Amino acid sequence: MAERVLVVGGGVIGIACAVFLQRAGCRVTLLERDTVGGGASRGNCGLLYGSDLVPLCHPGAVAHGLRLLLAGGSPLVVRPSLDPARLAWFVRFARHCRPARLAPAMRARARLLSSAVALYTEAFARGELFAAEPPAGVLLVFEGEEGLRAYRETNRLLAPWGCAAEEVPAARLAEIEPALRPGAAGGFWHRADRHLRPERLMDSWKQAALRAGVELREGATAFGFRREGDRIAAVLADAGEFAADQVVLAAGAWTAPLARKAGIRLPIQPGKGYSRTHPLSGRPPAVPCYFYERRVVVTPFADGVRLGGTMEFAGFDLALDPDRLEALAHAAAAGLLEPPAAAPCECWAGLRPMSPDDLPLIGRAPGGSNLWVASGHGMLGLTAAPATGRLLAELVTGRRPHIDPRPFSPRRFR
């Protein structure tokens, strides 16, 4: 008899877990409180950014973050709070900025992301998942020499993993992307990366889940658990009680409050980001441009242009701050010859599930014998999803994991 697995959360991570679990022979039901792909996985920048190996918590990140916070209008915002979980998260983050932590974190990210990119490439080639946009890489554009110099150092760290970018002198930037405004100090082109429209990708993940035989229950909010000894016997949801042999928490930024209902603490904080999507007009870029000092990405799609960025630690607040949305438009105006002229067709905010070491949590939950976690993917959930789904399915079904699961263990924070 196939194992009954219940996945909570229908973002890119939950749906990828569901697909891989079902293909591994489990009978999967996925509970999504809203619609599949309606959370952080929807309005994001759409980069499949496999070369982004340096974690947010790297040597020098705390000092840099403090400088950004003190300089008004920065892309980093921390709303003051005495919430002990948030304070503890920042303390952990600072500890993970130690130099000794960098190489192991980059190794773990390299393995997960290269597996994810390979899985996406196969799925696109077989037509199982959908990516309309032609691969164009990701072009990092720098306004000043200081940023350029710092990224040169980052690029040196990426080289051993085959992820280094091609450095582009200022005079050559317009050859690669004629839509750029002259005056930038230079850039780095990560040619192997690509982009796509996340909404389309999520539609195709959903279709893949249905084809595989996953039961999708949209509009079903999980709010608790029924325990039998050390096992979770059922998930309690407003749509009823769902008995399961194994339970996977993949509720994005909401994974931590949900896990608390099972008596488990997970260090995941919501990191809010914004995007504004405009209809095509003027001269949009052909290559996704990452205006690095402003931390704003401009992603071109076949039918629109999206500006996205900002990292705001403000709890579970999805309100749209007009200043943050304006900052995205300013960055595009500073970097592009013809920034989007028409009003946005959508302004959006999403909560990234942030872990303090910038590695996702994939594996058995602390203290839970049949409770699993797939969350904490921070800025790279869209990219890392298929490798996460595959790894989690291997762990749940007792198969040999295709990458070392230890760096991602949800138990590593005890």
Cβ distance to ligand FAD smaller for residue 225 or 254: 254
Indicate whether 375 belongs to the interface with ligand FAD (CB under 6 A). yes
What is the closest distance, in whole angstroms, from the C-beta atom of residue 43 to ligand FAD in the complex? Answer: 7
Q: Which two tokens stand for residue 186?
A: 């230079």
| Residue selected from 5, 7, 158, 222 as contacting ligand FAD according to rule CB under 6 A | 222
Cβ distance to ligand FAD smaller for residue 39 or 187: 39
The CA–CA distances, whole Å, from 70 to 58, 146, 150, 169 equal 20, 18, 20, 31
Indicate whether 361 belongs to the interface with ligand FAD (CB under 6 A). no
CA distance 97 to 114: 23
The CA–CA distances, whole Å, from 290 to 115, 132, 161, 208, 212 equal 24, 20, 21, 31, 36
Cβ distance to ligand FAD smaller for residue 319 or 400: 319
Residues of this chain, 256-295, that bind ligand FAD according to CB under 6 A: 258, 273-275
CA distance 115 to 111: 6
Cβ distance to ligand FAD smaller for residue 39 or 137: 39
Q: Report which DSSP code applies to 38.
A: -
Mode of pairing for the β-strands spanning 194-195 and 138-142:
unpaired
- Looking at the DSSP bridge assignments, the partners of residue 8 are 31, 249
Q: Which residues of 18-52 are buried (b: 16+ CB within 10 A; e: fewer)?
A: bbbbbbbebbbbbbbbeebbbbbbbbbbbbbbbbb
CA distance 294 to 411: 35
Give me the residue label for tokens 């921070």: 378
Cβ distance to ligand FAD smaller for residue 35 or 154: 35
Q: How many residues bind ligand FAD (CB under 6 A)?
A: 42
Indicate whether 137 belongs to the interface with ligand FAD (CB under 6 A). no
Residues of this chain, 25-64, that bind ligand FAD according to CB under 6 A: 31-34, 38-41, 44-47, 49
CA distance 141 to 129: 30
Alpha-carbon torsion, ordered 281, 282, 288, 291, to 10 deg: -110
What is the closest distance, in whole angstroms, from the C-beta atom of residue 380 to ligand FAD in the complex? Answer: 4
Nearest alpha carbon to residue 309 among 41, 39, 44, 65: 44
Only segment of 88-96, 173-181, 185-193, 250-258 that touches ligand FAD (CB under 6 A): 250-258
| Residue selected from 5, 7, 9, 314 as contacting ligand FAD according to rule CB under 6 A | 9
Cβ distance to ligand FAD smaller for residue 29 or 44: 44
Indicate whether 13 belongs to the interface with ligand FAD (CB under 6 A). yes
What is the closest distance, in whole angstroms, from the C-beta atom of residue 312 to ligand FAD in the complex? Answer: 10
Cβ distance to ligand FAD smaller for residue 184 or 385: 385
Cβ distance to ligand FAD smaller for residue 145 or 346: 346
Around Cβ 215, how many Cβ atoms within 10 Å? 15
Indicate whether 344 belongs to the interface with ligand FAD (CB under 6 A). no
What is the closest distance, in whole angstroms, from the C-beta atom of residue 177 to ligand FAD in the complex? Answer: 18
- Check: CB of residue 407 under 8 Å from CB of residue 362: no
- Residues in contact with ligand FAD by CB under 6 A are 8-14, 31-34, 38-41, 44-47, 49, 221-222, 250-252, 254, 258, 273-275, 308, 350, 352-353, 375, 377-383
